[in-house]
Amino acid sequence: MDFAPSDRVESLLERIRAFMEEHVDPVEREALAALDREVAPGVPYPEILVELRERARGEGLWNLFLPDERLGPGLTNWEYGMLCELMGRSGVAPMVFNCAAPDTGNMEILAEHGSAEQRERWLTPLLEGEIRSCFSMTEPESAGSDPTGLISRAELDGDEWVINGHKWFTSGYNGAALAIAMVVTDPDAQPHRRASMILVPVDTPGFTGVRPVPVMGHDEGPGHWEVLYEDCRVPAGNLLGERGAGFQVAQDRLGPGRIHHCMRAIGSAERAFELMCERAHGREAFGGPLADKQFVQDFIASSRMEIDQARLMVLHAAWKMDTAGKRAARQDISMIKVIAAQMHQRVLDRAMQVHGALGMSDDTPLAAMWRQGRWLRIADGPDEVHKMVIAVRELNRFKPLESAAV
């Protein structure tokens, strides 16, 4: 494994870094406020982001996450991971480069599982940046950590699917044109063959946004919405992939998505680390700078080691996905999902502590970064579920030895 960036990736890193420093960082706070203020049904992006996105696209910094050379630059997962880390330093940069979730995952499964008609109607405008999409799986009445218990149903009535269900945390609903809904289509099938993915235009009658779910006090922007499907009818051709293959499609979406989430978390932690070090040098207390205090030095040393450990494990998982496939990398992906999310929270907590009361305010980006990072310990599988899966897989490796001993 050689994780030294190629000349092409090094060039992209330099170009993204320069673009962010010149165009994104100076207006980051303004862009975040505009996301909250301007996004609405039919308005996927605020004007300030529309302008930044047009500039990024014009400079060729667009759809960098897609490994398919027909749709993107054809980077491997570990190569894109380096770019993703850089984008993760900012709350708006992924959107600027059309590399933000849930659109990235939705585009990936449309590219892999969508029909020619589905790709033309939905994938093309997503790639062009004309629309946004949302992902609709989690339900208030069933445990999101165990999607075999999904309740929402879709029944085939002639040439239409009739969807009924109650979802929440439908991420990105506000301002989106399309939802990808995971619903039960075969209730009597085996647990992992009960559900399918169905494409639902947001303006379909019977598909209603109830409210944005407040997440740690924030309920604006694209949001995480509670939604209802009430006799919501879409054509039978809106089935994404095979009937009953919802879990397989979801796994195809989650593998690269977890790499992206983890690398963005590392970028966010790296930014917090830099702010912490600057604060330690610039703030004096009890006769000297905070940088001279042993507790703060422990914060710095622990954070540096944890960030670098997480980065290497994530790059290794991405490399394994590239070289051996998503299934072979399942254990590695589960491990990094836990490691990166928990590392991010520890580093952000230390950075906030070194900033004192200032770290709790919105005068620095730390509080917002902490809030977004805390979400990662739940999204795409809670830490506890991933740990359970990791342990079961490891224990299963030793079962033949136990049987032989008996």
| 114 in any annotated domain | no
| 113 in any annotated domain | no
Residue 403 pLDDT: 56
pLDDT in tens, 203-242: 999 999 999 999 999 999 999 999 999 999 999 999 999 9
Residue 63 pLDDT: 96
Q: How confident is the model at residue 401 (pLDDT cuts 50, 70, 90)?
A: low
Please indicate, yes or no, whether residues 378 and 263 belong to a single structural domain of this protein. yes
| 355 in any annotated domain | yes
Please indicate, yes or no, whether residues 306 and 237 belong to a single structural domain of this protein. no
pLDDT in tens, 45-69: 999 999 999 999 999 999 999 887 8
| 285 in any annotated domain | yes
Q: For the chain, how many residues are written? A: 406
Q: Is residue 21 classed exposed, middle or buried when 0-12, 13-18 and 19+ CB atoms within 10 A define those classes?
A: exposed
| pLDDT over 60 at 402, yes or no | no
Residue 254 pLDDT: 80
pLDDT in tens, 155-194: 999 999 999 999 999 999 999 999 999 999 999 999 999 9
Domain boundary among the residues 243, 268, 287 is at 243
Mean pLDDT of the chain: 95
Please indicate, yes or no, whether residues 64 and 170 belong to a single structural domain of this protein. no
Residue 37 pLDDT: 97
| 215 in any annotated domain | yes
Please indicate, yes or no, whether residues 209 and 267 belong to a single structural domain of this protein. no
Q: How confident is the model at residue 145 (pLDDT cuts 50, 70, 90)?
A: confident
Residue 72 pLDDT: 83
For residue 158, give the CATH number of its domain: 2.40.110.10
Please indicate, yes or no, whether residues 94 and 137 belong to a single structural domain of this protein. no
Q: How confident is the model at residue 406 (pLDDT cuts 50, 70, 90)?
A: very low
What domain range is 201 assigned to? Answer: 133-243
Please indicate, yes or no, whether residues 235 and 252 belong to a single structural domain of this protein. no
Please indicate, yes or no, whether residues 263 and 393 belong to a single structural domain of this protein. yes
Domain boundary among the residues 48, 75, 100 is at 100
For residue 76, give the CATH number of its domain: 1.10.540.10
Please indicate, yes or no, whether residues 258 and 373 belong to a single structural domain of this protein. yes
CA separation, residue 312 to residues 150, 332, 374 (Å): 35, 11, 21
Task: Examine residue 205 and say whether the peptide bond preceding it is cis (omega within 30 degrees of 0).
Answer: no
Rounded to whole angstroms, how far apart are CA atoms 34 and 43?
12
pLDDT (average), residues 351-365: 97
Number of domains the chain contains: 3
| pLDDT over 70 at 404, yes or no | no
Residue 373 pLDDT: 94
Residue 383 pLDDT: 95
Please indicate, yes or no, whether residues 152 and 138 belong to a single structural domain of this protein. yes
Domain boundary among the residues 100, 123, 157 is at 100
pLDDT (average), residues 291-312: 98
Please indicate, yes or no, whether residues 90 and 176 belong to a single structural domain of this protein. no
| 239 in any annotated domain | yes
For residue 333, give the CATH number of its domain: 1.20.140.10
Instruction: Report the percentage of the chain scoring pLDDT > 90.
Output: 91
| 320 in any annotated domain | yes
- What does R_g of the chain's alpha carbons equal in angstroms? 22
Please indicate, yes or no, whether residues 275 and 388 belong to a single structural domain of this protein. yes
| 349 in any annotated domain | yes
Please indicate, yes or no, whether residues 95 and 151 belong to a single structural domain of this protein. no
